[in-house]
Structure 1
Amino acid sequence: MRLHTKLTLFTVAATIAVLGLFVWQLPRLMQKIASDNTNKNLHQQREKVLKAIGQNGIGYYFQGDSAYGSYSMLKDEYISLEPYTETADLTKLQTAQRIIDGDTINYRILIDTFAVNHQAYLLEIGKKITSIQEDSVALQRATIGVLVVLTLIMAFIQLFYTRYLLQPLGRIIRTRLIKTKFPFREPHRPLVTSTYDFKYLDQSISQLMQQVNHAFEKEKEFTSNASHELMTPISIMQSKIENMMTDPELPANAIPKLEDTMRIMKRLKKIVNALLLISRIENEQYDRNDIVAVKPMIREVLEELQHRADEKALTVEESLTNETILYHVNKDLLFQLFYNLIHNAIRYNRPNGRITISDRHANGDYYLYIEDTGIGIEESQHERIFDRFKKNTAQREGFGLGLSIVKSIADYQRISITVDSEKERGSRFELHFSASHLAQ
């Protein structure tokens, strides 16, 4: 999962969690706010009543009656004023029922006593509980609506800012990792960003790429120089040994030793030639402009290796499609690739074993399979078999340069190669040719 996706999911999850917690506590909070606000309003109305009495006298309310009472049209609020016969002062807030025009209604009531001209009076100011609750619900809905809108706005701001902030990292991944193939030949373009961490990361990756490139170029140079330097003395020694073997005065007991030496020299020359081939491939000294029909080339390889297959009494099954044509390849290198894979299947096969060569087309691509019933390869060695001179523990001999050449050719011609193998059950090599190999 990408970093931007993880940050997005975290932002959304955290926002939803905080919003959910707030909404869960919102009714209690709104109820507390509504209750406190109601109590405050009741006290304010009490102050207005006392102020009106102070300015206009108690008769302003009584107007000749013994008591005063008033309520709103919907009975949401009421006020009552009457003489108070008790001596103790009384000021309190309570929730109680009152009967208004025959209706019993729950009110939040402020009760207060005061004296005017040595006469005590009892004042009640009430607000209907259902009205308070309705105000609380309306306030909750308004709060939730505003909160949801603000949350969405903040979430979008965070998402867009996160995307903007991570753009340099995305460019690093695309330009330095995804779209870059080894060897790295594209010139380094410094990343333009105000974030120091991304600048440092880009510079570090570029330095590592340059170091890898430098080491690779040194290795190629050494391989090429060493191969050329070795070829001359090997050829001279081989020529001298051949001359010695034709000398009529050569003792008979020296001939087997010279023949052994000649075999060693031929093997050494073969290794040097393989190293030279790898060096030329890595230096891109071959073009890729040939057009190759797969089936005829495979059959040509099989004809050259038939005697080796016969030595082990191997059965070779070839079932390739006739119409497969590959473009943008090098014919000689492709022949060498097929030759090495089939030779490898023969070399590590069992007597009376089988080699199967098949292919298929899928999703516009082409797949070629070379399968054998040989000794197989341990899973731990799958990623190492293309390395030079790695050991096959089953046979206690090296893979040599054959598969290394195969890998170099495949990489150079943009062919993906994978191996599926199990010890004692054989191996299957898959060559994946992309759609670009099938179109002119």
Structure 2
Amino acid sequence: MFRNLRINIFIYYFLTVMSFLFFSYYFIDILKVEDIYLFSFIVLCFVILSGLFISKLAVDPLVDYVHHLQALSKETLHELNLPISTITTTTQMLAKNIDDEKVLKRISRINNACNMLKERYNELDYLIKMQSEQDVKEVFFVDDLVRLRVEFLQRLYPHMKFHLDLSTMEIFGDKTGLSKVIDNIIDNGVKYSRDSTQIDIKIENNVLMIQDYGIGMDEVELMHIFDKYYQTNKDMQGFGIGLSLVKRFCDKNKIELIFESSKNVGTKVKLKFKK
């Protein structure tokens, strides 16, 4: 598809240039047109028409391709929703009639895997809506969202202890996007905690604070944490693309993002929401 598109654009561009040279020669040398303003007007019209045609030739196939890809993604998501729901319902029914602990643990692992699939499903649905420029904002309670995210992450990191001190906070915003931000910050806190197993999360005065007690960062590292692919520890994943996405989300939604960190003390992240 794109190979043919490049060929078509090149051919049209080549013919356009040759036509321009021919008409310039025809008007100047054969017709002996001396009115520079008339000639400039004709050239301007020719350039505008050529530009419109080239842009249409280049963009229309891409627009069709993106629309087709979005339609395919929506259909795929719709098809995924049914088996996920079926697995969840079936495992719940099985768990009610089984007393064997080993079997129950296996069913629990299936449920956890299914919940992770649901998370990916929600993220794909969110990305499709964002690309389609659909309004993804809604009214929700940040404290309830934090509890849900901690409940999900607790299953991934059973050794961690999450201490919650959450005041009620209701906002109108991008719930799915904020979920990804919270997950990313907590995930980084866990990965860089080393021997510490504590994460403190607090909501007070329209501020969401997430604090870990891990390796921390110095002033130089703090200056680069939002750079793409930057990592404070090359042996770990984290503080790479994730925090640059967090920064972009906060800037877009007018959330003040503050990092406070000290070496071997830990890192505190604050999200300040407008009242």
TM-score (norm 1): 0.32
**What residue identity is the alignment partner of 1:314?**
M
Q: Provide the C-alpha distance between the structure 2 equivalents of 1:398 and 1:345, rounded to a whole number of angstroms.
A: 9
1:346 to 162, 167, 190: 190
8 Å Cα contact 1:315/1:352 also seen in 2:
no
**What residue identity is the alignment partner of 1:349?**
S
Cα distance, 1:324 vs. partner? 1.1
Aligned to 2:76: none
**2:144 is aligned with 1:296:** yes
8 Å Cα contact 2:196/2:214 also seen in 1:
no
* Higher share in strand: 1
SS class of match (2:254): coil
Q: Provide the C-alpha distance between the structure 2 equivalents of 1:417 and 1:291, rounded to a whole number of angstroms.
A: 21
**2:248 is aligned with 1:419:** no
Cα distance, 1:335 vs. partner? 1.1
2:155 to 307, 324, 346: 307
SS class of match (2:148): helix
Cα distance, 1:287 vs. partner? 2.6
**What residue identity is the alignment partner of 2:170?**
I
Q: Provide the C-alpha distance between the structure 2 equivalents of 1:284 and 1:334, rounded to a whole number of angstroms.
A: 19
TM-superposition CA deviations, 1:4-25 (whole Å, max 9, x none): xxxxxxxxxxxxxxxxxxxxxx
Cα distance, 1:357 vs. partner? 0.3
8 Å Cα contact 1:360/1:368 also seen in 2:
yes
8 Å Cα contact 2:139/2:171 also seen in 1:
yes
Aligned to 2:169: 324
**2:222 is aligned with 1:382:** yes
Q: Provide the C-alpha distance between the structure 2 equivalents of 1:403 and 1:376, rounded to a whole number of angstroms.
A: 15
Aligned pairs for 1:388-407 within 5 A = 388-393=228-233, 395=235, 397=237, 399-407=239-247
Cα distance, 1:288 vs. partner? 5.2
8 Å Cα contact 1:388/1:400 also seen in 2:
yes
8 Å Cα contact 2:214/2:264 also seen in 1:
yes
8 Å Cα contact 2:161/2:198 also seen in 1:
yes
**What residue identity is the alignment partner of 2:156?**
R
Aligned to 1:204: none
TM-score (norm 2): 0.50
Q: Provide the C-alpha distance between the structure 1 equivalents of 2:164 and 2:132, rounded to a whole number of angstroms.
A: 32
**What residue identity is the alignment partner of 1:316?**
F
Aligned to 2:133: 285
Q: Provide the C-alpha distance between the structure 1 equivalents of 2:156 and 2:255, rounded to a whole number of angstroms.
A: 27
**2:275 is aligned with 1:430:** no
Aligned pairs for 1:261-272 within 5 A = none
Cα distance, 1:393 vs. partner? 3.8
Cα distance, 1:353 vs. partner? 2.2
Q: Provide the C-alpha distance between the structure 1 equivalents of 2:224 and 2:184, rounded to a whole number of angstroms.
A: 17
8 Å Cα contact 1:359/1:369 also seen in 2:
yes
Percent identity over the alignment is 27
Q: 1:284 to 1:386 in 2, by over 3 A?
A: farther
- Which is bigger in relative contact order (C-alpha 8 A, separation at least 6)? 2
Q: 1:286 to 1:379 in 2, by over 3 A?
A: farther
Aligned pairs for 1:24-423 within 5 A = 285=133, 287=135, 289-310=137-158, 313-321=159-167, 323-327=168-172, 329-361=173-205, 366-393=206-233, 395=235, 397=237, 399-423=239-263
8 Å Cα contact 1:293/1:324 also seen in 2:
yes
TM-superposition CA deviations, 1:236-295 (whole Å, max 9, x none): xxxxxxxxxxxxxxxxxxxxxxxxxxxxxxxxxx9xx99x96x996x7935353111011
**What residue identity is the alignment partner of 1:370?**
I
Q: 1:404 to 1:336 in 2, by over 3 A?
A: same
Q: Provide the C-alpha distance between the structure 2 equivalents of 1:309 and 1:349, rounded to a whole number of angstroms.
A: 12
Q: Provide the C-alpha distance between the structure 1 equivalents of 2:265 and 2:147, rounded to a whole number of angstroms.
A: 25
Q: 1:286 to 1:419 in 2, by over 3 A?
A: farther
8 Å Cα contact 2:129/2:135 also seen in 1:
no
8 Å Cα contact 2:214/2:265 also seen in 1:
yes
SS class of match (2:260): strand
User: What is the RMSD computed on CA atoms of the aligned residues?
Assistant: 3.1
Q: Provide the C-alpha distance between the structure 1 equivalents of 2:218 and 2:266, rounded to a whole number of angstroms.
A: 10
SS class of match (1:392): coil
